[in-house]
Amino acid sequence: MFVTWLQFLLTFLTLAAVSLTSAANGAGPAALKPVQDILKPVAAPLAGFIGTIAITGFIWGLYVLIGLIFVILGGYITFDLVLGLIGALLLIVLSVLAGYISVAAFFGAPASGAGKVVDGIKRSFGGVEAILGLAGLVFALWTLIEFILNRFGVYI
């Protein structure tokens, strides 16, 4: 039970933090400017910690993704598994986008192989960072609601 809570908290908190930072500070369409103006003061306290949170989120997202791939290779596919894959991918991408400087430095970008992957993610998704951040916030909220409902025996 404790491990389940710990996994949920790590996933939820890192996803919420990197999503909030990406939604507030990322590039996106001009229509999102009012939303970003609202989110900037909320994300401001995370500025000093976002590098550490992003590195943690990136490593945790990779761990979850690898675990879910092994489950798929075992022949077990459910809707929750697909949501888990989406969450892991969002966590990886948003961690790179939110804390690019820290994550790139940690993985030795662009000199190392992992650094090239980090640079590729930044180049591929940098233009839609705000949209992905908002999607990550919605997904984090969904994760919270589903986790609470599951504790009370309600499975969606």
Contact 24, 36 (CB under 8 A): yes
Where are the chain's structural domains?
2-151
* Amino acid residing at 43: A
Element (DSSP H or E) covering residue 35: helix 33-43
pLDDT above 90: residue 90: yes
Rounded Cα gap, residues 29 and 134, in angstroms? 12
pTM beyond 0.85: yes
Q: Give residue-wise pLDDT tens across range 26-65.
A: 888 889 999 999 999 999 999 888 989 999 999 999 999 9
Annotate 61-76 with b (16+ C-beta within 10 A) or e (fewer).
beebbeebeeeeeeee
